Structure 1
Amino acid sequence: MPDLVKPFGVQFGQAIDNLKGKLPEATMKWDDLAGPVHGKVFAIAGATNTDLVADIQKSLVDALKNGTTITQFRKDFDATVQKYGWTYRGKRGWRTSVIFNNNMRSAHMAGRWEQLQANKARRPFLQYRTAGDARVRPMHRMWNGLIFPIDDAFWQTHYPPNGWGCRCTVRAYSQADLDDGNLQVSEPFQVKTREVVTRDGEITDRVPVGIDPGWDHNVGQSWIAPELALGQKIAALPKPLQGLLADKAVSPAYQKVLNDNFKAFKTAIKQPVGQAQIVGFMDSGMINAIAEKLPEVELQTTSVSVLDSKTNHLAGRHKVNSPQVWPEEWANNLPEHFRNYQAVLLDKKSGNLIVVPQDSFNTMLPKIVLRLNQRTKIGLSATVVSLGAAAAGDLGNADAYELLLGALTK
């Protein structure tokens, strides 16, 4: 029999891990965070107190663990609202339903994705399934029954849930299952997109037709491989929106995710095998500066990664007693230092970018050297080719470097 998604009310270990492992963060609006960020960050629109957010998250985790219903969650919600004096928008019934149902569905489908990945050698095909009633969205009804390999690009954007209140799911099949049911893999899917426009006429996003803004990502990929999921989302956007999304995507909580995942990647390397780890994404300031001052440079990607073959070499341990060697704490927090820069320069000789983080060590300015548009196993990215430090005067040499953004300060 094909695998089925366990319903709400049944303890589901991976779903609990997903919801429990998210970092709580305060937000003003539902779209303050990019969709893929929600794979690792828990937020409630309009909840600006992190402790309040954490308490609501705990109530949802308890509901998953104990199989309790929305009725009990509403009691917990009321107590939390009273505790913090939170005034929220919308009626209680509607607001609690949105919070409970969407978080439960996302957690279950994220956990389901982990199961499907673990079992894909035996059942490598997924079929899109709707709830089959009158409430199903017309576009989702059109996708009902589509079958694609689990690694097909379709599931990067169309793996459910695909919107607020979406109840769609997937069913896993083996080749024998397909043969027995006289089923076939569907024709390649042509994704049509639409622009998301505010009331003021500002274009803020681009999503596949039929998918709500913020839901055009695979909740399982966003949990298991958050950097890749966000990178895929950014890469799919037109150039003017890529930096803007990165600006809001890398929130304080998500920055911690990037830092922690890089440390884990760095620690796990025993023998380089050509793997890479994304450590960040170019923000709008960096992208705009490159476009303005280096019009001949075509940025093919805005993600920044480190190769495993370089990681243990980057801190400069081979430079014994050199003041250029990055301290271990600095090296471990490379994603944060890349994000918090004071200046970006062009090395005129090599064509590499030099990102200068804030602060300094050994009375020198740290520098992150990037080579653009490099092919890695995770796709195109700018790769960190070296870490080091230099005197402010050296980096200020106009013959060797061109200042693209910011200013050099000690």
Structure 2
Amino acid sequence: MSGPEELPLAGVAPEEAIAFFRRKGFRIGFNWQDVFKAEHARWFTVAKAMSRDLLEDIREAVDKAISEGTTLDTFKKELRPKLEAKGWWGKKIMLDPATGQHELVQLGSPRRLKTIFDTNIRTAYQAGKWERIQRTKAAFPFLEYSSVMDGRERQEHHDWDGIILPVDHPWWKTHYGPCDWNCRCSAIPRSQRMLDRMGKTVSQVPPANDLYPWTNSRTGETGMLEKGIGKGWDYNVGEEYLRGLAPSPLPESFDGTDEVGAAAELSGAQRVLVDRFLKLFGVPPGGEAIWTDKDGWPLSIGRGWFIGDGGAVRLPRGAAGVAIDRIGAAIVQPDDIGWAWVRGADGRALLMRRYDRVANGMRTRVDVGRDGWRWETKPAQT
């Protein structure tokens, strides 16, 4: 267990953590592995809380803890009576819907409430912190791994303390805290001037620790993990949050015949096109980042720009590579930026940020809003 002991994380505005937490949907699961790994960045779940009203009670208490700074003692004191009144406390026999078997399981307990409190608050603040890291990486291009050296940290986390790498280094995809249950690790933004003043230098990539096998007993999925990273914790909660912030493609500008699947299942050709788009914004292949346009407006850039509802891949109509170059250029090097009210498919009026660019006799327009983004290109004189 590593990192700052106190909550919330220093230097993170509560609004950033609140925004992350409130974007989550509900997901009911019997086993903690039913909602696994990066899915936790998109769904609020508590194992064996098998009804929406239970999840709403727990979520309300967590939301209050993040937004009002509720202490763990207050969190437990206020939430426990509600859970006891609904019978969700102590050990009980429950039916596992996946196996059809009845099991004696642990429902609410002081220990479980502490885990719910710590895990949700730490991930919320770490996600909010990553958003800020991405927004300020031009000024603070490095991160230093930080752990509390109080004798309770894991040995691997102890060894990682003080490692300094660029913000966009792939090491942070799996080593940005929390890295396990009850992990207190964090990362501190650093500028070159700060490093020079502190007498520190950018690190060599640390050698990987030994690997150990893991299995998700609910799905049969298997893999290998580096020691020091817990089962289900080998992802960057901040990157997953930014992926969720990326606007989705609106149907009118895109082909609807692409294969459907999770974003991680992009075909090789599709991945090349998406990475081509990311490169225009200086985002590494497969990465997610907050990018700021020339007027200072932040956009979340990532592969989510080409993933529609249900995981459908949506690429621009026509020659996708040419279109992607035009779209990227219109946003990165626009002739004009403004705001426009447009009519959504359901008839609602939507406010969208509009980027216009004329090049080679063609006008490209890109509209980006809360509900998604669209684009069009046509001869400049029309």
TM-score class, shorter-chain normalisation, is: 0.5 to 0.7
| Deviation at residue 67 of structure 1 after TM alignment | 1.2
Taking structure 1 as reference, are residues 278 and 56 closer, same or farther at Cα in structure 2, changes over 3 Å only? Answer: farther
CA distance in 1, matches of 2:122, 2:234: 15
Aligned pair 1:102/2:119, yes or no?
yes
- Aligned residue for 2:110? 93
Pairing of 1:34-113 with structure 2 (within 5 A): 34-87=36-89, 89=106, 92-113=109-130
* TM-score using structure 1 length: 0.56
Partner of 2:145, secondary structure, is strand
| Deviation at residue 34 of structure 1 after TM alignment | 2.3
- Aligned residue for 2:360? none
The residue identity in structure 1 corresponding to 2:310 is E
Bigger fraction of residues in helix: 1
**Paired residues, number:** 266
Aligned pair 1:336/2:353, yes or no?
no
CA distance in 1, matches of 2:60, 2:273: 35
- Aligned residue for 1:214? 232
| Deviation at residue 77 of structure 1 after TM alignment | 2.1
CA distance in 1, matches of 2:129, 2:307: 32
Partner of 1:280, secondary structure, is coil
Aligned residues of 1:9 and 1:68 also touching (Cα < 8 A): no
Aligned pair 1:167/2:184, yes or no?
yes
Aligned residues of 1:278 and 1:304 also touching (Cα < 8 A): no
Alpha-carbon displacement from aligned partner over 1:354-400 (angstroms, at most 9, x marks no partner):
xxxxxxxxxxxxxx9xxxxx9x99xxxxxxxxxxxxxxxxxxxxxxx
**RMSD over aligned Cα atoms:** 4.2
| Deviation at residue 172 of structure 1 after TM alignment | 1.0
Partner of 1:196, secondary structure, is strand
Partner of 1:136, secondary structure, is coil
Taking structure 1 as reference, are residues 41 and 128 closer, same or farther at Cα in structure 2, changes over 3 Å only? Answer: same
CA distance in 2, matches of 1:21, 1:162: 22
The residue identity in structure 1 corresponding to 2:37 is G
Aligned residues of 1:9 and 1:66 also touching (Cα < 8 A): no
Aligned residues of 2:14 and 2:125 also touching (Cα < 8 A): yes
| Deviation at residue 54 of structure 1 after TM alignment | 2.2
Partner of 1:47, secondary structure, is coil
The residue identity in structure 1 corresponding to 2:154 is R
CA distance in 2, matches of 1:99, 1:334: 31
Partner of 1:225, secondary structure, is helix
Taking structure 1 as reference, are residues 18 and 84 closer, same or farther at Cα in structure 2, changes over 3 Å only? Answer: same
| Deviation at residue 171 of structure 1 after TM alignment | 1.0
CA distance in 2, matches of 1:12, 1:280: 34
The residue identity in structure 2 corresponding to 1:215 is W
Partner of 1:64, secondary structure, is helix
Aligned residues of 2:30 and 2:49 also touching (Cα < 8 A): yes
* TM-score using structure 2 length: 0.59
| Deviation at residue 50 of structure 1 after TM alignment | 2.3
Partner of 1:132, secondary structure, is coil
Pairing of 1:251-290 with structure 2 (within 5 A): 264-267=247-250, 280-281=261-262
CA distance in 2, matches of 1:333, 1:121: 28
Alpha-carbon displacement from aligned partner over 1:200-243 (angstroms, at most 9, x marks no partner):
9x7633322211011111111111115xxxxxxxxxxxxxxxxx
Taking structure 1 as reference, are residues 71 and 7 closer, same or farther at Cα in structure 2, changes over 3 Å only? Answer: closer
Structure 1: 5+ residue runs without aligned partners? 227-256, 288-298, 310-331, 340-367, 369-373, 378-410
The residue identity in structure 2 corresponding to 1:225 is R
CA distance in 2, matches of 1:49, 1:302: 42
Structure 2: 5+ residue runs without aligned partners? 91-105, 277-305, 316-320, 325-382
CA distance in 2, matches of 1:278, 1:225: 20
Partner of 2:248, secondary structure, is helix
Taking structure 1 as reference, are residues 118 and 300 closer, same or farther at Cα in structure 2, changes over 3 Å only? Answer: same
Partner of 1:58, secondary structure, is helix
| Deviation at residue 307 of structure 1 after TM alignment | 6.3
Alpha-carbon displacement from aligned partner over 1:33-57 (angstroms, at most 9, x marks no partner):
2211111111111111122112211
Aligned residues of 1:26 and 1:48 also touching (Cα < 8 A): yes
